[in-house]
Structure 1
């Protein structure tokens, strides 16, 4: 799949791809053309690797927000053998920003929960661009509790810039609902696997992010605040979003180094938006492997493992180094020594 939307640093890649398409369109290629095709393919692979291995934090944000990046419904279609969607929170309505339902991955039956941004303008308006309301988080928790009742593991896909900040959402208890989800997820005696597939913004991501394992895709980010929000607070202008992105240290490498996530899932060469199927294959392999490791654990073991995982975030060891040095003798000590 070749994306139509071009990021600035992708332009040299698109130019090489156009060149390769022209060469491959030749009806009767000569040996020289075949050699050129081989050379361009090698150069294209080299350029993709060089560009995407050296992205800074702000470029990672751009990739995470790519309009053609696979979303929850794309992954459900590609990795689930079966999926039955469940709707509503039994209180207010059905929030389309969060998709929930029973799913089957190979031999495993799971409860699938994921945030959806939408593709078309109509879908994005229905999903509020992935920003869930309180009813979305209530829906997610109800389905998680149903999964716990039937002993099903839970798989959560995170992709949101943050919870919806509107007046209606606040009136219906946005902050309380997210906080309640955090507490109740920590108590569920079944395996919970959370994966950040795009944006992982603040409490909106945490509302379905309390897992036994938390993973992040290679070009996704997981942060306490968006770069624009951070720039507005610290530098009083959104134009410093790139500076904020670098300061926040929210890319996969940083998150893994700080112990925030357990694993960084590699993306296909050039990013997930270039090959949905290959990315889905990597994601499914990771989820199945994590399920295989967690399912043998008992309920109390899962709870303790989850508790210890989040309890340790932010811990650090303080090492006090005592430097032993000889103090310079005083003038009086020097006089006494010389007199001897």
Structure 2
């Protein structure tokens, strides 16, 4: 059952009416097929028109949808033979950032990404996708391992930001993020990063400094959350919608600005309405990018990576 967002209330009411008519028809043996068909068409049109005109703040809400697929969902739907690797070999295991060997079609890759969890217990276990220093140091270890084995690196980014707790700062959060970003930029193997939900601040950049950066259609990517920006600029989180508009957080804005390279389409109504179709599109897009990147020399890939980040903001 779909969980409706605030701006989807008219759609929720319409689909509730359809469900009511179906129940009535089944209980009373009434022929309501014509009316149900008319309302289903109206519902489909309303869903399409609503998602075709989402504001940046509405896209932020879609990117945070509790039913939106996360790392483990994509592992199950788009990849095979996933072999998880844990620990940073310094402090411990961080379940907010997962990674390991995997297969994308016939290609072996190193897959790394944020996991938010899908219920209360798993969200707490995965710390809502907010990585700690040991998570980013694990990512560095896995990227270095990929380099030694000559495997492409694929990252799935979905975090509101790195964990801001005191213990994370005590263990060197800023240094770990910087080192992870450096590891991305220094890779000699192909790297493709995909923002699949939220791409928040340095916690996202640390896994997204690739030569090809993709975004799902309704994902967002920003230096700070809209609520955070609103609190700083207007001294209230209630201006989050204005902040989202001003910061150009959507895939469509960022593609025009050259921050990302490609937008991966989602099913009508968002990835949460059809995770399997989303995963299929994602796998195809990543495969196409890797096909191109694997033909380039390591020197050319490194140069592309450096050039794309240096060029951001020049326009």
TM bucket, shorter chain: over 0.9
Contact 2:140 2:179 in 1 (8 A): no
Counterpart pick for 2:17 among 11, 16, 19: 19
Pairs within 5 Å for 1:174-185: 174-185=173-184
- Tell me which residue corresponds to 1:230: 229
Contact 2:110 2:152 in 1 (8 A): yes
Q: How far did residue 97 of structure 1 move?
A: 0.3
Measure, in 2, the Cα distance between the counterparts of 1:43 and 1:247: 33
Measure, in 1, the Cα distance between the counterparts of 2:79 and 2:20: 37
Measure, in 2, the Cα distance between the counterparts of 1:111 and 1:195: 14
- Tell me which residue corresponds to 2:7: 9
> Cα RMSD over matched residues?
1.4
Deviates more, 1:285-294 or 1:133-142: 285-294
Measure, in 2, the Cα distance between the counterparts of 1:118 and 1:182: 24
Q: How far did residue 15 of structure 1 move?
A: 2.4
- Tell me which residue corresponds to 1:69: 68
- Tell me which residue corresponds to 2:186: 187
Measure, in 1, the Cα distance between the counterparts of 2:310 and 2:160: 25
Q: How far did residue 81 of structure 1 move?
A: 2.0
Pairs within 5 Å for 1:1-340: 2-3=1-2, 5-24=3-22, 26-27=25-26, 30=31, 33-316=32-315
Q: How far did residue 128 of structure 1 move?
A: 1.5
Measure, in 2, the Cα distance between the counterparts of 1:20 and 1:162: 40
- Per-residue CA deviation, residues 251-294 of structure 1 (Å, 9 max, x unaligned), is 11110110000111111111111111111111111111111111
Measure, in 2, the Cα distance between the counterparts of 1:281 and 1:82: 17
Q: TM-score, normalised by structure 2?
A: 0.95
Runs of at least 5 residues in structure 2 that lack an aligned partner in the other structure: none
- Per-residue CA deviation, residues 130-175 of structure 1 (Å, 9 max, x unaligned), is 1100000000110011011111101100000111111111111111
Larger Rg: 1
Q: How far did residue 21 of structure 1 move?
A: 3.3
Q: Secondary structure at the match of 2:148?
A: helix
Runs of at least 5 residues in structure 1 that lack an aligned partner in the other structure: 317-340
- Per-residue CA deviation, residues 7-27 of structure 1 (Å, 9 max, x unaligned), is 111122222223333445545
Measure, in 2, the Cα distance between the counterparts of 1:287 and 1:123: 27
- Tell me which residue corresponds to 1:327: none
Q: Secondary structure at the match of 2:193?
A: strand
Measure, in 2, the Cα distance between the counterparts of 1:186 and 1:68: 32
Contact 2:143 2:183 in 1 (8 A): no
- Per-residue CA deviation, residues 238-262 of structure 1 (Å, 9 max, x unaligned), is 1221221111111111101100001
Contact 2:83 2:100 in 1 (8 A): yes
